[in-house]
Amino acid sequence: MRRAVALLFVGLLVWGLVGWAQPGKEYVAASETTLAAVAQEVFGDSAYAPAIMRATNAKSLADPAYLKIRTLDMKIPAGAKLWVPERAWAEAFMAFWDPNRPEDLFGGGKLVVGSWWTAGGEAEGLNALFEIYDEYYPDVQIVNATIAGGAGFVFRAVIKPRLIAGDPPDTFQLHAGLEVEGYSPETYLTPLDKLFEIMGWTEVLPKDLLDLLLYKDHFWGVPVNIHRANVLWYDKAIFEKYGITPPENWDEFFSICEKLKAEGVVPFVMGNAGGWEAAHLFETILVSTLGAEGYKGLWTGETPWTSAGVTEALEILKKILDYVNPDYAALSWDGAGEYLIAHKGAMMIMGDWTNGWFMAKGYEDYGWAPVPGTRGIFDALSDTFCLPKRAPNPINALGWLMVCGSKEGQIAFNTRKGSIPARTDLTAEEKALFNPYLQSCMEDFARDAIVPSVIHGAAAIESWVTDFKDAVNLFLATKDVAGTQRALVEAAEAALAQMGK
């Protein structure tokens, strides 16, 4: 409740500062003038005239008291009201506006946002970003173009052909890391280096994340969060009833499983309807058996896939299948979570979007711990938004990216989504807006060894992720440890060769 009040307060504060418009201020012409002269006066540079024209036209769509400017050299009559954007916005506009697109000087239009955020927590987080965007750009109509399916496997299959056909949304969700390779960014996406520079994001984002974001020496997406993949969620009521504490290692995990199975409780729940959830679980087991450096080495060629740690991870996964809910193949990750809410299943390993989902469901009886054997390691991923080269409304998308990268945006989004802000410059009061899980997550991220998630796009190129996922899915049926390890070795060889390693 206190958090809700505080959030409302921050919201009102933001609203009070900016009113219903992008950051900037009103300017009333004292005498007849030109946009160039106004730009010279307020920015010390007449070249910023297009930025003022765009901002004023956008404002005038929502409030006719503002001047409607038809051409860049139109005479501005005395007493006319203009909207002068903040310098950073004006700089970003000038860096990204294509003078061959005069239509972008007029404001309005749509912002088509592509993502796979349809589950509880995901949808609320996205909506919080939309609300801020709406405040800044009331002239723009937001189109929420979601394609359901956790981890974005369905989404990517739909969006890629659209991108290639020159029919992309204005911006879409993209994991930080090697996932971007699958979109041939040099051909289809706009590098965002200049935006990072103007907004000062390289100063406020953690180095691990910046390293992950750089692909072929460019930034292709603006990160809105950091998620953790290696979390074990448990139902506190069940743990209390049977006097159980969270397992630190797999031996403890399996003795808990035995105990609960004997009591008629489903010890471990999972869904695999999306075909990626079991592979997500397996990834976190690999982190436990190989450690941070060993796991990271799997994706660079330094750790051989023939390692005993890989065999051990497969053995663990095989054993987990003895304790899992029988309907796992039919359930999505959130569907599986219902077992916990109903106090019918005890433990679940899934990323911390589960925390957002629990919040959205009003379920508070959950505890969390690192996946057994991974204390001190943070299996990380980050959601970013990119700017397609052929975005129909690139300037509307630019405003969206600025909201995504802003503190206001990241606080509003992450408190609902169940992730932590990508930015590290939150004050103690701002951190206090996050729930206890997220506060502990912020501390862990600052302290732990960070490793990249494979299933969520950070560690490997797309073809490798697919091979990895397919090998795990086949394993669920065959339980063939040696055969699966061979398949994983082959997948690594093929991918490393493609990557020139």
Least spacing, CB of residue 351 vs ligand GAL, in Å: 6
Choose the stretch contacting ligand GAL; rule: CB under 6 A; options: 100-108, 114-122, 134-142, 177-185: 114-122
Q: How far apart are CA 479 and CA 336, in angstroms?
A: 22
Angle, to 10 degrees, between the axis of helix 308-320 and the axis of helix 481-498?
130
Determine what percent of the chain falls in helix, strand and coil, rounding each to the nearest 5.
55, 15, 30
Q: Does 139 bind ligand GAL (CB under 6 A)?
A: no
Least spacing, CB of residue 199 vs ligand GAL, in Å: 22
Which residue lies nearer to ligand GAL by CB, 105 or 287?
287
Site for ligand GAL in 201-260 (CB under 6 A): 227
* Contact assessment for residue 212 and residue 453, using Cβ atoms and an 8 Å cutoff: no
Choose the stretch contacting ligand GAL; rule: CB under 6 A; options: 75-83, 116-124, 127-135, 396-404: 116-124
The structure tokens listed for 219 are 């930034």
What does the buried/exposed string (b/e) look like for 276-288 if buried means 16 or more CB atoms within 10 Å of the residue's CB? Answer: bbbbbbbbbbbbb
* Contact assessment for residue 420 and residue 205, using Cβ atoms and an 8 Å cutoff: no
Choose the stretch contacting ligand GAL; rule: CB under 6 A; options: 75-83, 145-153, 164-172, 493-501: 145-153
The structure tokens listed for 30 are 């004292």
Least spacing, CB of residue 271 vs ligand GAL, in Å: 11
User: Of 39, 151, 256, 398, which one interacts with ligand GAL (CB under 6 A)?
Assistant: 151
Which residue lies nearer to ligand GAL by CB, 196 or 385?
385
Q: Does 412 bind ligand GAL (CB under 6 A)?
A: no
The structure tokens listed for 146 are 């979601």
Least spacing, CB of residue 154 vs ligand GAL, in Å: 10
User: Of 24, 109, 152, 191, which one interacts with ligand GAL (CB under 6 A)?
Assistant: 152
* Contact assessment for residue 76 and residue 33, using Cβ atoms and an 8 Å cutoff: yes
Choose the stretch contacting ligand GAL; rule: CB under 6 A; options: 146-154, 159-167, 213-221, 237-245: 146-154
How many residues contact ligand GAL, by CB under 6 A?
Answer: 13
* H helices, E strands: number in the chain: 22, 16
DSSP state of 388: B
Least spacing, CB of residue 121 vs ligand GAL, in Å: 8
Q: Is residue 13 exposed (0-12), middle (13-18) or buried (19+ Cβ within 10 Å)?
A: exposed
- Long-range interactions of 478-484: CB distance < 8 A, separation 24+: 479/318, 479/321, 481/311, 481/314, 481/315, 481/318, 484/314
Choose the stretch contacting ligand GAL; rule: CB under 6 A; options: 50-58, 115-123, 431-439, 491-499: 115-123
Residue nearest to ligand GAL (CB): 150
Which residue lies nearer to ligand GAL by CB, 247 or 271?
271
For residues 344 to 363, the per-residue mask of contacts with ligand GAL, x marking binding by CB under 6 A and - elsewhere, is -------x-x----------
Site for ligand GAL in 161-190 (CB under 6 A): 175
Least spacing, CB of residue 275 vs ligand GAL, in Å: 13
Least spacing, CB of residue 391 vs ligand GAL, in Å: 21
CB atoms within 10 A of CB 308: 9
**Which are the contacts of 493, defined by CB distance < 8 A and separation ≥ 6?**
none
Q: Does 383 bind ligand GAL (CB under 6 A)?
A: yes
User: Of 104, 122, 135, 467, which one interacts with ligand GAL (CB under 6 A)?
Assistant: 122
Which residue lies nearer to ligand GAL by CB, 96 or 434?
434
Residue with tokens 């950073």: 88
The structure tokens listed for 67 are 């001047």
Q: Is 398 helix (H, G, I), strand (E, B) or coil?
A: helix
Q: In Å, how far are 139, 231, 416 from 124, measured between CA atoms?
A: 22, 21, 6
Q: Phi then psi for 496, rounded to 5 degrees?
A: -65, -35
Least spacing, CB of residue 37 vs ligand GAL, in Å: 47
Q: Does 456 bind ligand GAL (CB under 6 A)?
A: yes
Which residue lies nearer to ligand GAL by CB, 196 or 276?
276
Which residue lies nearer to ligand GAL by CB, 116 or 253?
116
What does the buried/exposed string (b/e) look like for 375-395 if buried means 16 or more CB atoms within 10 Å of the residue's CB? Answer: eebbbbbbbbbbbbebbbbbb
Least spacing, CB of residue 306 vs ligand GAL, in Å: 29
Q: How far apart are CA 442 and CA 187, in angstroms?
A: 36
Q: Does 283 bind ligand GAL (CB under 6 A)?
A: no
User: Of 286, 381, 451, 492, which one interacts with ligand GAL (CB under 6 A)?
Assistant: 381
Which residue lies nearer to ligand GAL by CB, 174 or 286?
174
Residues that bind ligand GAL (CB under 6 A): 116-117, 122, 150-152, 175, 227, 351, 353, 381, 383, 456
